[in-house]
Amino acid sequence: MRVAIIAAQGDVEEHVLATKKAMENMGIEGEAFATIKKEEVAKSDAIILPGGESTTISKLIHKSSVADEIIKAAKEGKAVMGTCAGCILLAKHGDEEVRKTGTKLLGLMDIWIRRNAFGRQRESFQTMLDIKGIGKFEAVFIRAPAILKVGEGVDVMATLDNFIVAARQDNLLALTFHPELTDDTRLHEYFIKMAI
């Protein structure tokens, strides 16, 4: 099992560590590695798009052509998880702020996304979510987006304040929060199971 964490910007190392710990907990041999090279992404079994600043990440992944490889991999059925900014990039539909910033979405998931739905940096918070298939999970929200609505075939996994904060569509997992910033690896384990 090879999991590529897209190293454009953001919580890259945290995802590498959480994925390694999840594999260890599951007794799975494999590696989690940071990369921005499309050749390495092509050789992976699963891909994580981390949080950070979505406009910056979008520019970097398109400039390096890794965006095309992520789209290709997702369409071939490889598991792809996007957290926070990564969740924004997975979306087919963005709000006015997404359009205003010129953020180029990957257009993979039939979700409508709003940037900074819970406020700016100073409004960041932690809260307990009840996530379908996981149970209670302490989630970290930092300038978090929200999923406003989903299309057919998208499974809503968790909500908060009338917003969708976790959703799955086949091999794609969108989380508006940061599971990598906790010691709880259950969401990374769930994602790895999606890739097996």
Q: Which residues carry out catalysis?
A: 84, 178, 180
Cβ pair 180, 93 in contact under 8 A: no
Q: Enumerate long-range contacts of 133-137, CB under 8 Å, 24 or more apart.
A: 133/157, 133/190, 134/186, 134/187, 134/190, 135/186, 137/179, 137/182, 137/184, 137/186, 137/187
Residues 73, 117: Cα–Cα separation, whole Å: 29
